[in-house]
Amino acid sequence: MAESLATLQRRWADHVRDPSMAAPDGIEARRLAVYRRLCIDSLDTLLAGSLPRLQHQLGMPRWRDTVEHYYASHTCRTPLFPQIAGEFAAWLAMQDAVALPAWAAELAHYESTQQSLHIEARAAGRSLHRVPVDSDVLAVSPLVQVLGYRWPVHVDEMLEPMLDAAPTLLLMRRTPEFSLRVEELAPLAYAVLLAFGDDGTRVDDVLQTVAEAHGVAPDELRAACIPVLRDLCKAGVLVASTDPGGGRRAAATTPSPFFEA
């Protein structure tokens, strides 16, 4: 009995993704191999354009093996090309650490976040304006990503194991001029920004949360944090929000002395 068109298409697609799967009858293997190479080359080019440092640091043989494994084993959930790098980074984070360097998934996440902030910042830069530094409810700007890694993914040198090194805490932000700035964060600033989140939180609630998490007296933490919050607002990292459940306004970005060199 002849296969249905749907079954034939599925067998064809499975073989193109993974040549260990049986090919449909009557189709020359050489032709399927050419089509498979074209498909993988397209994906390779797309990912390499989004993750150039990962490609370079893995080296071409291991990079190509990883791309082919991804192509064979993962079904993309997004139809949007700019989001495929982020999906690839999430897939890498779930792979066996023995097969790839321990830093690979974090570097992929870092580079895909850069791309996302360039392209998908939700048009937040259209209404930039200053906000009062004494706002009761603040949120992390949509032009900002707060990132924490085990590895120094923001440096250009080859990543080497640093077992005793402190975590890499970063703030990535897109300026009104559409350039990206990446700055290292002090642990206190990192904890505070994570507590505010994207949707807006009362300042008092954030201070209480951070104080409880780190075993610090709330009054002592408030004294330490108020200058920090002021600088974060001036820098446009934290923006005013009138709605703790959403509704944010983006702020103008200006240099801040708070961030570490």
pTM (two decimals): 0.81
For the beta sheet containing 201-202, the strands, ordered from the edge strand earlier in sequence to the opposite edge, are: 201-202, 137-140, 238-243, 246-248
| Average pLDDT for the chain | 81
Helices (H), the chain: 5-17, 29-50, 52-58, 60-73, 81-93, 104-119, 187-196, 203-214, 218-234
| pLDDT per residue as tens digits for the range 149-198 | 999 999 887 666 665 678 999 999 988 788 899 999 999 889 999 999 87
Q: Are 187 and 224 in contact (CB under 8 A)?
A: no
* Model pLDDT, residue 171: 96
Query: Which of 78-82, 95-99, 209-213 has the lowest average pLDDT?
Result: 95-99
| Phi then psi dihedrals of residue 149, to 5 deg | -135, 160
Q: Are strands 137-140 and 201-202 parallel, antiparallel or unpaired?
A: antiparallel
| pLDDT per residue as tens digits for the range 23-50 | 887 788 888 888 889 999 999 999 999 9
* Model pLDDT, residue 183: 94
Domains and CATH numbers, the chain: 5-119 (no CATH), 124-248 (3.90.930.50)
The two tokens of residue 242 are 């009138």
